[in-house]
């Protein structure tokens, strides 16, 4: 099944997960350096101090991307490299690193897709209240200006935030990711609003520099709600479960908390009822800023849940059948994960969708023949791309797909236990080995998806 002719294929990473060089060339600690140094926070006591040593090996890594035939590469910028003190003095060496990376990518024919914020807040800003302090909005603007000033002549694809649900929900509410706080709902609401305003202001900075030449997006995440059958009732129940607040799911995990303000300029009424009392004073006047026109909605999707409609049309979760397929990190393999959520987003907001991350962790190792055979990754990706193609057939405008991840890396609180890469990394020697799935994905790209069969 061929994908649209202008479809973008790529792979993704994030700064803290691959770069290492945590204290080099002027970089100062991020919240992840501090959190991972605390005993018991990360599996095996792992940290991102060295990670994939990409900071020193980026040329080798771009060569690997070229070998994989990647037309596009999504990566993030480390704020603590650019503004080590959060604000103020720009660290030229930090900018130089990304500038060289961008040059290397472009000379390899690979389009850079830059995420401004993938969770590694400068620790010094956290100490001033982080996303709870409204001053962070101007700090983010300053950071965006610095990055765009240095890379804006060559980078055309931009994403402001990666998964605000996670860096607020997991980090500030559940306390399982940096900075590991367990704040009350009232604080969470303020953090959400500040992130949304920071997004809007960053979009203004980007637009002022690149106008309509720039392709700008943001990347939320969710679990896809999959209708158990294609009856109109089940589809409607899945749509409702995607966008409506339900008592079984904390508000922070309801997609529309972010996507309605971003694309409709309003908080959803069922959510507003609960959070209005905690929104910062004068929040209404921020809504048009949050609702700035952007070019795509990125979405990170890994797994889904099946549900059906009851007699009243309410969504009811289906039980998971015994022995249902799972990845190494124990996320269910649901073939239609990339079908329904992108379709619902496109229908509700009429905005093109980019799958900014999708992939799986597996228990990969180097086999006796020196290769990494990972048939599950091939099968999973095949199934998921088939689902994505169905979304396109259903009429959804899907612009691209980025596999997570380019290479095995630091999987946050799971340390190096989970391997998500198309490229295997031996963390003791830093030797990279392209997995079977990497070679398979190369063929998928070369065939513009024709290799994906029904």
Residues at the site binding ligand BGC, with contacts judged by CB under 6 A: 14, 17, 162-163, 166, 221, 300, 357, 404, 411, 420
Of 434, 412, 409, the closest CA to residue 422 belongs to: 434
For ligand BGC, the closer of residues 275 and 354 by Cβ is 354
Give the Cβ contact number of residue 253 at 10 Å.
Answer: 17
Tokens 């997991």 identify what position? 170
Quote the tokens at residue 260: 């309605």
The least distance separating ligand BGC from the CB of residue 348, rounded to whole angstroms, comes to: 22
Of 170 and 385, nearer to ligand BGC (C-beta) is: 170
Task: Tell the smallest beta-carbon distance from residue 129 to ligand BGC (Å).
Answer: 24
Among residues 58 and 402, whose Cβ is nearest to ligand BGC? 402
Helices (H) and strands (E) in the chain, counts: 16, 13
Buried-exposed string 299-336: b where 16+ CB fall within 10 A, e elsewhere: bbbbbbbbbbbeeeeebeeeeeeeeeeebbbebbbbbb
Contacts of 150 (CB under 8 A, 6+ apart): 95, 98, 99
CB nearer to ligand BGC: give 286 or 364: 364
Q: Are 211 and 322 in contact (CB under 8 A)?
A: no
If the CB atoms of residues 171 and 256 are measured against ligand BGC, the closer one turns out to be 171
The alpha helices in 152-286, defined as continuous H runs, are: 164, 185-210, 232-243, 256-264, 269-275
Interior angle at CA 402, CA 41 and CA 340, nearest 5: 95
Report, in Å, the least distance between residue 285 CB and ligand BGC: 31
- What's the rounded Cα separation, in Å, for the pair 112 and 290? 25
CB of 177 to ligand BGC, least distance (A): 10
Whether the bond between 391 and the residue before it is cis, its omega within 30 degrees of 0, is: no
Provide the annotated active-site residues. 163, 357
Nearer to ligand BGC, 221 or 381 (CB): 221
């Amino acid at each position: 099944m061929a994908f649209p002719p202008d479809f973008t294929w790529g792979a993704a990473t994030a700064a803290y997960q691959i770069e290492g060089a945590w204290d080099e060339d002027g970089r100062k600690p991020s919240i992840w350096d501090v959190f991972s140094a605390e005993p018991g926070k990360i599996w095996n006591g792992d940290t991102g101090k060295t990670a994939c040593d990409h900071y020193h090996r980026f040329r080798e890594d771009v060569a690997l991307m070229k070998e994989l035939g990647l037309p596009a590469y999504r990566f993030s910028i480390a704020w603590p490299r650019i503004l080590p003190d959060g604000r103020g003095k720009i660290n030229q060496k930090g900018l130089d690193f990304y500038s060289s990376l961008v040059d290397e990518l472009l000379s390899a024919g690979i389009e850079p897709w830059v995420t401004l914020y993938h969770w590694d807040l400068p620790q010094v800003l956290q100490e001033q209240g982080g996303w709870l302090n409204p001053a962070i909005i101007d700090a983010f603007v300053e950071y965006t200006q610095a990055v765009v000033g240095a890379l804006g002549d060559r980078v055309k694809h931009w994403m402001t935030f990666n998964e605000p649900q996670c860096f607020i929900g997991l980090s500030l509410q559940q306390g399982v990711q940096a900075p590991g706080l367990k704040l009350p709902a009232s604080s969470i609401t303020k953090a959400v609003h500040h992130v949304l305003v920071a997004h809007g202001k960053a979009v203004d900075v980007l637009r002022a520099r690149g106008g309509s030449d720039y392709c700008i997006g943001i990347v939320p995440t969710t679990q896809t709600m999959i209708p158990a059958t294609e009856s109109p009732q089940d589809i409607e129940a899945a749509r409702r479960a995607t966008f409506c607040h339900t008592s079984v799911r904390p508000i922070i995990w309801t997609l529309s908390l972010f996507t309605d303000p971003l694309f409709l300029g309003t908080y959803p009424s069922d959510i507003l009822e609960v959070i209005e009392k905690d929104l910062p004073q004068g929040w209404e006047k921020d809504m048009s800023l949050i609702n700035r026109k952007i070019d795509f909605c990125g979405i990170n999707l890994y797994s889904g849940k099946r549900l059906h409609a009851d007699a009243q049309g309410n969504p009811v979760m289906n039980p998971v059948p015994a022995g249902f397929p799972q990845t190494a990190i124990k996320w269910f393999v649901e073939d239609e994960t990339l079908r329904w959520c992108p379709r619902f987003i496109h229908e509700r907001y009429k905005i093109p969708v980019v799958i900014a991350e999708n992939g799986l962790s597996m228990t990969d190792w180097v086999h006796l023949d020196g290769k990494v055979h990972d048939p599950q990754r091939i099968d999973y990706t095949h199934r998921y791309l088939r689902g994505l193609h169905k979304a396109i057939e259903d009429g959804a405008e899907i612009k691209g797909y980025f596999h997570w991840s380019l290479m095995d890396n630091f999987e946050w609180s799971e340390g190096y236990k989970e391997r998500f890469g198309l490229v295997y990394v031996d963390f003791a020697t830093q030797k990279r080995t392209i997995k079977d799935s990497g070679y398979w994905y190369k063929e998928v790209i070369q065939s513009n998806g024709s290799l994906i069969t029904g």
